[in-house]
Amino acid sequence: MLKFPKGFLWGAATSAPQSEGHATSNGKTPTTWDKWYELDPTKFTKNQGPENTSNMYDMYREDAKLMPQVGMNSFRTSISWARLLPDGQTVNPEAVAFYRSYFEELHKNKVKPIINLFHFDMPWWLMEKGGWEARESVEAFAFYAKTAFELFGDLVEMWTTFNEPIVHVECGYLYGYHYPAIHDFKKAIQVGYNTIMAHTMAVKNFREMKAKGQIGIILNVSPCYSRGETEGDKLAAKQADLLNTKSFLDPAVLGQFPQELVDLLKENELLPTTQQGDKEAVSTNTVDFIGLNYYQPRRVQEPVQKLVGKATDPSDFYAPYVWPDRKMNVYRGWEIYPEALYDVAMMMKNDYDNMPWFVSENGMGVAEEERFLDDETGMIQDDYRIEFMKEHLEQLHKGIEAGSQCFGYQTWTFVDCWSWLNGYTNRYGFYRVELDNNYKRTMKKSGLWFKELSETNRLKITK
């Protein structure tokens, strides 16, 4: 039996756009997802757009009661910027009533809310002005954050600014998975920089308001493992780590950008446009805690083609490496490597002043999960998900025993949720959502397992 620290947070995470539904009603204006689906629905899983998702807008009261039934004592979700401030300035009273009631229901059921402000859902009114490419987005986000702190600060003690900000950078400006789906390395760097400044100014407002509680940011961390020990492979891993992990983690926790990253961008004429006072703002507005999402490692090798001239893509610095011994989740094309979670724990302890942190996402989704339905019980037998969590929790516990200050573990996700371009292809929840049956929630086997884990605060292992 592996015992976890007293008061450990056990829970799950989701986001407003992936769970609420009512995407074009109740005073909400469009986000990039709503508009993209309208402009080009062929990019999305057929008939699975952002309008309805899992209907938590109507079902949050029932959902809050379901959370303790799977042992959840914490829950992360997000506020929809476009719902709270439909034009960026005017508060939507229906949104205020909805979120206040939502958070109150969580408290009634002894579930601690961890509330995030941005989960890939750029309001369309701001996207038309350039989105994160435009410096105006920094001030707009800071105002939104301040508004949220004022309206819900009495109900929320743990805030985060962004979820996985590197994702809207690379998916929107390098790899085509998010709107505007362009490829421009220079713009991607500017988008990343403006996002960091938006985070910084939100933290600054939180501090100046003397808001209660704590504020952090949620980053997806995939440790970089090099193919081998050659100078080229080691350099590739170092540069991948600089671009994908340290670019956000260092300013958020240490209050500065890595000099090696600055030098790399300068050498390749990729430095972003900055403003006077930015450096000081970053240095004085660090976070109280970090949420780290972990699903897969990042394995890299030296690029086959040596860079000639200036870099135009991250692949100029590193190339993916397929480890021959890897274990795979074939439904996502992701490697399963629990050992990396121990490495993450040690990274936080040794490189980031042992900053308090929690696993803000970890989990496994597969397609056609109904294959595992037990006809007698009506329950999905998702043993593969239980095994995935067990293996990762063993490594997390090892890191905690070694002194890393991890205070919680949240899975993705509570009820099956909508996943951007993939809709409901892969299922992740403790509860199955029956889309053709009024979004009925049905507990899976993993929910029973997680309840025992949470209530005992101990992980049973077999050797």
pLDDT tens for each residue of 328-383: 888 878 899 999 999 999 999 999 999 999 999 999 988 999 999 998 988 999 99
User: By the 8 A CB rule, do 361 and 396 touch?
Assistant: no
**For the residues 139-163, what does the mean pLDDT come to?**
98
CATH T-level topology, domain 2-459: TIM Barrel (3.20.20)
The residue from 170, 302, 361, 369 that is catalytic is: 361
- Whether 361 is a known active-site residue: answer yes
Q: How far is CA 249 from the centre of its chain?
A: 14
pLDDT tens for each residue of 172-208: 999 999 999 999 999 999 999 999 999 999 999 999 9
pLDDT, residue 306, reads 87
Cα 177–Cα 182–Cα 186 angle in degrees, nearest 5? 120
pLDDT tens for each residue of 265-298: 999 999 999 999 999 999 999 999 999 999 999 9
pLDDT, residue 463, reads 62
pLDDT tens for each residue of 38-97: 999 999 998 899 999 999 999 999 999 999 999 999 999 999 999 999 999 999 999 999
The residue from 164, 170, 302, 369 that is catalytic is: 164
pLDDT, residue 462, reads 75
pLDDT, residue 308, reads 83
pLDDT, residue 12, reads 98
Q: Is the pLDDT of residue 418 over 90?
A: yes
Residue recorded with tokens 């450096």:
279
The SS3 call for residue 37 is helix
Residues 6+ apart with CB under 8 A from 204: 142, 281, 284, 285
pLDDT tens for each residue of 6-38: 999 999 999 999 999 999 999 999 999 999 999
Q: What is the DSSP string of 243-271?
A: IIIIHHHIIIIISS--HHHHHHHHHTT-P
Q: Is the pLDDT of residue 446 over 70?
A: yes
Q: How far is CA 384 from the centre of its chain?
A: 22
pLDDT tens for each residue of 206-237: 999 999 999 999 999 888 999 999 999 999 99
Q: Using pLDDT thresholds of 50, 70 and 90, give the confidence band for residue 125.
A: very high
- Whether 62 is a known active-site residue: answer no
Q: Where do the domains of the chain lie? A: 2-459
